[in-house]
Structure 1
Amino acid sequence: MIKRSDIHTFEDESFLKRTARLSAVAFVAGLGAGAAVVFALIGSGAVSLDPEIAALFTAENAGAVFQNYVAWFAMAAIATAASLIVHELVHGVYFKLFAPRGARVTFGANWKRGMLYACADGIVYTRCQYLVIALAPTFAVTALLVLAGVAFGRPVVGVFAAVLHLTGCAGDWAYAEEIHRDPAIAFCMDTDWGVCFYAEGESDGEMSRLGTGAFWDIRRSRRMSQNAPVPNRDTPGTSPTGPSAEGDAE
């Protein structure tokens, strides 16, 4: 495979600025769309306004107003924090689903950048698989938050948490944008620092043919034994262990 580009998620200042812009757009657009959804739901009679918000207009004293105000924001904060954890779990589920058997998916946080992450270090996915992995939380978690808000009688909490969650999806959108912008990208290798994008190429035809999981298979076989026999390249499901393939993996 031929390397096209890569993204160092926590170090690439251009990437970080782009995600910041996307987050800002998502927040503004999300608030507008979220307000429209809430008004439509309430107007149709499907739901009622959050009790804590409704009480702000009927409370008899400032103390009661403050308590309801704090209670509502506490619920919104808890829902938002939970959404970030579920977001990474969804990434992890799809990382695992598309990976070879025995592949390891890890989770972590970069506190300096304020980011949680899921990682399938060294595993190669097809273009379409990686797009699903990157974008799945945007749809699944956002929908879950709105539905949970309606189910628990707090539609505004659900929609507000969904908007905040969307601002945290900007990095995923930037990954998808990079893939979409370059039609030659056929494979994506996840790493503990970001992602590498590869095109098919004659320089490593076998790696291109194997695709998903090839790099991971190489790393695993190298760790098992330096003297392990080279797999038969004509046998489906095996991986090459030649120097050029390992060079791509690293």
Structure 2
Amino acid sequence: MKLLKQINLMDDQKTIKRLNLAAIPALIFFYVFFTFLTVAGHGATNEPPFFIGLLILMGTYIVLIIIHELIHGAFFKLFDPKGKVKFGFKNGVAYATSPHSFYSKGKFAIILLAPFIGISGGLFLFYFFGWLTVSLFTWIASVHAASCVGDFYFLYLIAKAPANSCVEDTEVGLNIYHEE
């Protein structure tokens, strides 16, 4: 296998800043997107007072970060049961990693997208069954989705790689290899 690209996101302050800036338009995009999902009007009708809602948003966000990384970890184990999964927080970034594990592009795409899809779907169900108000749903779902910019960035990088490439997860990012 030939190494095509090596991405060290954890030590690349410039890329981390760019991803943090990219989260702003992503937040706007996802707020509009999730607002359109609420057109059916199934959410709870009693909006909490502003500061209570803000506390709910912040508390839920912290819990969702943990769940998000646990989902990554579960899919790492699903696709490489012998691989070790590590969790951490560095440079303002929470992460799950399975160092030295290799995955096909398709499996790595699933690992990257599983938290976004699972958490967004779960939040929508909470809204649909009336357990979240419209504003709490749209803000919580939007903030979480905007926080997935690192996953979307990695997805973009592996999508650009040749079809028969494989991805190695590393403690600081990922390596993309081309099978010759």
2: CA distance between counterparts of 1:182 and 1:33?
A: 29
What one-letter code is carried by the residue in structure 1 that aligns with 2:86? T
**Residues 97 and 120 from structure 1, CA distance in 2 versus in 1: closer, same or farther, beyond 3 angstroms?**
same
2: CA distance between counterparts of 1:119 and 1:154?
A: 34
- Asked if 1 retains the 8 angstrom alpha-carbon contact of 2:47 and 2:135, the reply is no
1: CA distance between counterparts of 2:43 and 2:28?
A: 24
1: CA distance between counterparts of 2:165 and 2:45?
A: 47
> What is the CA-CA distance between 1:94 and the residue it aligns to?
0.5
What is the aligned length?
179
Tell me, yes or no, if structure 1 residue 95 matches structure 2 residue 73: no
Unmatched tracts of structure 1, length 5 or more: 53-67, 202-250
The structure whose Rg is larger is 1
Tell me, yes or no, if structure 1 residue 107 matches structure 2 residue 106: no
Give the one of 107, 113, 136 matched to 1:135.
113
Question: Percentage identity across aligned positions?
Answer: 23
Give the one of 118, 126, 151 matched to 2:104.
126
The corresponding residue for 2:55 is 74
Please list, as runs of the form range in 1=range in 2, the aligned pairs for 1:157-236 lying within 5 A after superposition: 157-183=136-162, 186-201=165-180
TM-score (norm 2): 0.90
What one-letter code is carried by the residue in structure 2 that aligns with 1:192? E
What one-letter code is carried by the residue in structure 2 that aligns with 1:107? F
2: CA distance between counterparts of 1:135 and 1:14?
A: 24
> What is the CA-CA distance between 1:108 and the residue it aligns to?
0.8
Judge which range, 117-126 or 155-164, deviates more: 155-164
Q: For residues 73-129 of structure 1, give each alpha carbon's deviation from its aligned partner in whole angstroms, at most 9, with x where no partner exists.
A: 111112211111111011001100000x4321111111xx21110010111111111
What one-letter code is carried by the residue in structure 2 that aligns with 1:49? T
> What is the CA-CA distance between 1:144 and the residue it aligns to?
1.2
1: CA distance between counterparts of 2:54 and 2:15?
A: 31
The corresponding residue for 1:85 is 66
What RMSD, in angstroms, separates the aligned Cα atoms of the two structures?
Answer: 1.8
Give the number of the structure with larger relative contact order, counting CA–CA contacts within 8 Å between residues 6 or more apart. 2
- Asked if 1 retains the 8 angstrom alpha-carbon contact of 2:161 and 2:176, the reply is no
**Residues 50 and 76 from structure 1, CA distance in 2 versus in 1: closer, same or farther, beyond 3 angstroms?**
farther
Please list, as runs of the form range in 1=range in 2, the aligned pairs for 1:239-250 lying within 5 A after superposition: none
1: CA distance between counterparts of 2:82 and 2:46?
A: 46
Tell me, yes or no, if structure 1 residue 155 matches structure 2 residue 134: yes
- Asked if 2 retains the 8 angstrom alpha-carbon contact of 1:107 and 1:119, the reply is yes
1: CA distance between counterparts of 2:26 and 2:101?
A: 30
SS, match of residue 124 in structure 1: strand
- Asked if 1 retains the 8 angstrom alpha-carbon contact of 2:87 and 2:96, the reply is yes
- Asked if 2 retains the 8 angstrom alpha-carbon contact of 1:9 and 1:193, the reply is yes
